[in-house]
C-alpha cells in the first residue's frame, strides 16, 4: 500500500484511500470541510509525488504549477510526501469590515483586503473558503461585485453546529483578520453575444447570496432577456432583502422577484405562500427552454431534486448552474 509522509512521519494508506482520509484516520489534523473537492479547504503541497488530475481539478493554474492538490481527491498509486501550506502561500488576508444582521438569524459579513494585500479576481456568485484565526474553515458564496464595491459581501445563517458560524456570531468583531482561498465555482453570469436568453434563479435561505450577486451583475452588464428570482424560506423570518429586491424589480422592467414561504406570511403582501420548487418550474417559459439559463442555490436536497426536474422539463444540463455544497461538520487545524 502507498504511504503518505507529513512532517517527517509516514502513514500507510488503505486501498483506494485519499490522502485526506488517510491522514485523518492516523490522527493528523488537516483542515477540511466538504470532502467533495469544492471548498479547497484541504489544500496540500506535494513535496514528492505527482498529484492526480482529479486532485488538481478546479485549482488555479498557479496553484497547479506550484504542486498544490486537494487532499480529499488525491488517491496516490505510489508513496508521496506532502506539507500543509502556510496561509501566506495560498490565501489572501482579509479584514472584517462590518457584521450586520439582515434578519433574526442571518448575518451580512463584509470583508476588505488587509493592509498591503492584493485582492484576488472574483465573480459574483462564486465562493470563497474562509479560514478564521483558530484555523476553522468554511465555504461562503460571494453576494456582490468586489470590483464595484471594494468589499466582499457574504450572507451567513446562524447554524448551531457550524464552528465557523458560531465564531462569527459570538466572537468575531470588525477589524479581525481572516484568510480566504479561492474563489472557485462556475455559478456566475456569463455575457454572450445575444444576451437575450431568459434567466431563472431560485434559492433557499442564504442560497440567496450568490443569486443576489448574479442578478446585480447581469443588470450591470445590461442583460437583455427576462430574469426571474425566486427566494424561499420555511417561515417569513428566513427571508431577507425583500424590500431591496422588490424595489430592484420595480426599477428594472425585465427583472421579476418573488419571495415565498411555506408558512403563512400573514398580512405581509410582499411574500406569497407557496412551494419554491413548484413556483420555479412554473416560471420556465416552454417556448424558451432551449436557451434558458437556470441558477440554483441553497439546501443540497432542494438543489439536486429541482435540477433533475428542470432538466426533465427541457432545460439543457449545461445551462443549469449550481455549486453543490455538501453538509458536513467543518474541521479545524
Q: Which 3 state secondary structure label does DSSP give 327? A: coil
Residue 330 has pLDDT above 60, yes or no: no
Per-residue pLDDT tens digits for 72-114: 999 999 999 999 887 667 778 999 999 999 999 999 999 999 8
Contact of 140 with 58, CB cutoff 8 Å: no
pLDDT score recorded for residue 119: 65
Alpha helices (H) along 16-117: 19-25, 53-56, 61-65, 87-90
What would the pLDDT profile of 269-315 be if each residue is shown by its tens digit?
999 999 999 999 999 999 999 999 999 998 888 999 999 999 999 99
Half-sphere exposure for 293 (CA within 13 Å, toward CB): 23
Q: How far apart are CA 174 and CA 98, in angstroms?
A: 5
The CA radius of gyration of the chain, in Å to the nearest whole number, is: 21
Q: Kindly report the pTM of this predicted structure.
A: 0.81
Distance, C-alpha 237 to centroid of its chain? 22
Could you read off the pLDDT of 21-50 as tens digits, one per residue? 999 999 998 877 778 777 777 889 999 999
Please state, in angstroms and rounded to a whole number, the distance separating the CA atoms of residues 49 and 30. 19
d(CA 229, CA 256): 6
pLDDT digits (tens, 9 = 90+) for 173-232: 999 999 988 788 888 998 876 678 999 999 999 999 999 999 999 999 999 999 999 999
Q: Quick check: 60 and 120 in contact, CB under 8 A?
A: no
Amino acid at each position: 500500500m502507498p504511504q503518505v509522509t507529513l512532517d517527517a512521519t509516514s502513514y500507510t494508506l488503505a486501498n483506494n484511500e485519499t490522502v485526506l482520509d488517510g491522514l485523518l484516520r492516523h490522527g493528523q489534523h488537516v483542515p477540511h470541510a466538504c470532502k467533495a473537492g469544492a471548498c479547497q479547504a484541504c489544500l496540500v503541497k506535494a513535496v514528492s509525488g505527482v498529484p492526480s488530475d482529479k486532485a488538481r481539478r478546479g485549482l488555479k493554474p498557479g496553484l497547479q504549477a506550484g504542486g498544490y492538490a486537494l487532499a480529499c481527491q488525491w488517491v496516490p498509486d505510489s508513496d508521496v510526501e506532502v506539507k500543509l501550506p502556510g496561509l501566506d502561500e495560498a490565501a489572501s488576508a482579509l479584514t472584517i469590515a462590518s457584521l450586520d444582521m439582515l434578519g433574526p438569524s442571518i448575518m451580512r459579513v463584509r470583508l476588505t483586503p488587509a493592509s498591503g494585500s492584493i485582492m484576488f479576481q472574483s465573480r459574483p456568485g462564486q465562493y470563497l473558503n474562509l479560514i478564521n484565526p483558530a484555523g476553522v474553515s468554511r465555504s461562503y458564496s460571494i453576494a456582490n461585485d468586489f470590483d464595484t464595491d471594494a468589499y466582499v459581501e457574504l450572507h451567513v445563517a446562524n447554524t448551531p453546529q457550524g464552528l465557523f458560524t458560531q465564531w462569527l456570531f459570538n466572537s468575531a468583531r470588525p477589524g479581525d483578520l481572516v484568510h480566504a482561498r479561492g474563489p472557485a465555482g462556475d455559478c456566475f453570469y456569463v455575457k454572450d453575444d445575444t444576451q437575450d436568453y431568459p434567466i431563472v434563479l431560485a434559492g433557499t435561505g442564504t442560497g440567496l447570496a450568490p443569486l443576489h450577486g448574479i442578478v446585480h451583475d447581469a443588470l450591470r452588464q445590461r442583460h437583455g432577456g427576462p430574469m426571474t428570482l425566486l427566494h424561499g424560506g420555511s417561515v417569513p423570518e428566513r427571508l431577507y432583502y425583500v424590500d431591496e429586491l422588490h424595489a430592484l424589480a420595480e426599477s428594472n422592467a425585465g427583472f421579476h422577484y418573488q419571495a415565498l414561504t411555506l408558512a403563512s406570511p400573514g398580512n405581509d403582501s410582499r411574500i406569497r405562500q407557496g412551494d419554491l420548487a413548484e413556483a420555479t418550474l412554473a416560471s420556465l417559459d416552454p417556448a424558451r427552454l432551449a436557451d434558458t439559463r437556470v441558477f440554483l442555490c441553497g439546501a443540497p436536497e432542494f438543489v439536486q431534486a429541482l435540477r433533475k426536474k428542470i432538466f426533465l422539463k427541457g432545460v439543457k444540463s449545461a445551462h443549469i448552474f449550481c455549486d453543490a455544497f455538501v453538509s458536513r461538520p467543518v474541521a479545524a487545524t
